[in-house]
Amino acid sequence: MNLKLTESFTKALPADSNLENSRRQVFEAGFSHVQPKKPSKPQLIHVSDDMLDELGIGQEDAKSEDFLEIISGAKVYPNTNPYAMAYAGHQFGNWAGQLGDGRAINLFELRHKDKLWAVQLKGAGETPYSRQGDGLAVLRSSIREYLCSEAMFHLGVPTTRALSLVLTGDQVLRDMLYDGHPEYEQGAIVSRVAPSFVRFGNFELFAARQDFDNLERLANYVIEQFYSDLGIPSKEVYIEFFRRVMINTLEMIIHWQRVGFVHGVMNTDNMSILGLTIDYGPYGWLEGFDFGWTPNTTDKQNKRYRYGNQPNIALWNLLQLANALYPLIEETEPLEQILQEFQSKFDLKWLDMMRSKLGLKGQESEDLELVQNLEDALLSSETDMTIFFRLLSHYRIGKPEAAYNLIKPAFYKENLNSPEHKTLWNSWFKNYDKRLQNEKSDDRLRASGMNLANPKFVLRNYMAQMAIDAAEKGDYALIGELFQLLKNPYDEQPNQERWFAKRPEWARHKVGCSMLSCSS
């Protein structure tokens, strides 16, 4: 491999002067140099051809022993010095202090086709920020991250990417259910890729410690590298920088809500400064449409990070970032205005997004009521979100009385023929039909547009778990099949109809298929 290396982050921020890889508080530094742990018997399970191309790595290079050794941490790419980033954060609404890359090690940065990429390994061993952890990752969580990050990209959701999935050959002890019964699992490493892995928490760390020099260095670095059109860093530019981060974060959340994705652990250290979906842990997609659903067992009681609360949490997290940036601005009013702008912009963009899911072109005053009534209908019984919206594209104007049977496959209970349920849906479809007729909607064109907003295939938890179950027995074929399926989530793919189906009943309460822990 002949990569075009660069060192923008490590040149902009000071390094930890302590080179010992011991768990500790790290002060006045943006990162700590650390070497990955050498795996005992690395094995490449899957690699993303798309990301090979993005990074300028040839197909033949990806088959080499050299490539495997680098993406497994067995050896370091020449003239590079791996590191773990320092950051802090609020976890479940509480200040957690220093956190940092506890099991992520950044290998290097490179530039290809005028794009900057940071390449890191998740699960390659302990760092100064590992706290009580071992810095390793297991196969099940690695499969989920590898498949999901690439699936999200093809859904059009801003996200970090994944290059490769590797088995380490080592056993990792994990208490998956936090019930005091840990077991050994197969160790694995995902090679993650993004223009930057800087998070809200990077800024919070320096601000909390009143390390304003490094706070300014970090802000200047991010602006110069990723928001350079804002101009030379200054007080006014810092304000506009915060506004841009707000807009990027808002766009990301809109996409999450559009496809029914629930992150599960929206702590400030899991919020990308570029508005990318980052850190795929206990995530999930809505099966039955439910504003109160969260996939995270840790959040089961309070449901802070539930589907319907993700926009509010994004705003709360932006407030924490505003507090961290305040020392550079020293005015609250412009920051408060931007936070207020989030709410007003979100309401408008969310309604426009829902219009796209419903195939509505124009903007009518009754659209909000139409959407709210739809949500009531969806909540009246367990209704699969993905299947419902995909089937809705088949609706034909002038036939509201036939619509109930059209969407019936989206209902989890087959005997939903009660008069009350039918009446509720028939009433909604009559209003929907009237709305479509008012704008002289064309059935074919509307269906085509709706199918670009409503995916046919998403990475349901049970699908990922099936791939995990097979992989733990040494069969990796399903990983490849799902990887290919999810590269075209909006296409019909008639030969893959088995994945266009409601969650099977056996998966309703199965570990890994309903709710998940943070243990990985």
Helical spans, DSSP H, in 359-486: 367-379, 385-392, 403-407, 419-438, 443-453, 461-471, 477-485
Q: Closest Cα to residue 338, out of 319, 351, 363, 313?
A: 319
Q: List Cα–Cα distances, 466 to 171, 187, 380, 508, in angstroms.
A: 21, 18, 30, 13
Give SS3 for 150: helix
Which is it for the CA torsion 278, 281, 287, 293, positive or negative? Answer: negative
CA distance 277 to 148: 10
Measured CA to CA, the distance from residue 287 to residue 285 in angstroms comes to: 6
HSE (CB half, 13 Å, CA atoms) of 168?
28
CA torsion sign for 9, 12, 13, 15 is positive
Q: Which amino acid appears at position 127 of this protein?
A: T
**Cα separation, 214 vs 322, whole angstroms:** 16
Catalytic residue list contains 269 = yes
**Locus of tokens 């590298």:** 225
Indicate the pairing of strand 5-6 with strand 104-112.
antiparallel
Residues 380 and 407: their CA atoms lie apart, in Å, by 14
What are the tokens at 338? 């931007």
Q: Which of 16, 101, 211, 269 is catalytic?
A: 269
Q: Sort 202 into a burial class: Cβ within 10 Å, 0-12 / 13-18 / 19+.
A: buried
Specify the amino acid at residue 57. Answer: I
SS (H, E, C) 319-339: HHHHHHHHHHHCCCHHHHHHH
How far is 512 from 515, CA to CA, in rounded Å?
6
310 contacts 254 by C-beta, under 8 angstroms: no
From residue 414, alpha-carbon distances to 194, 374, 407 in Å are: 44, 20, 12
Residues identified as active-site: 269
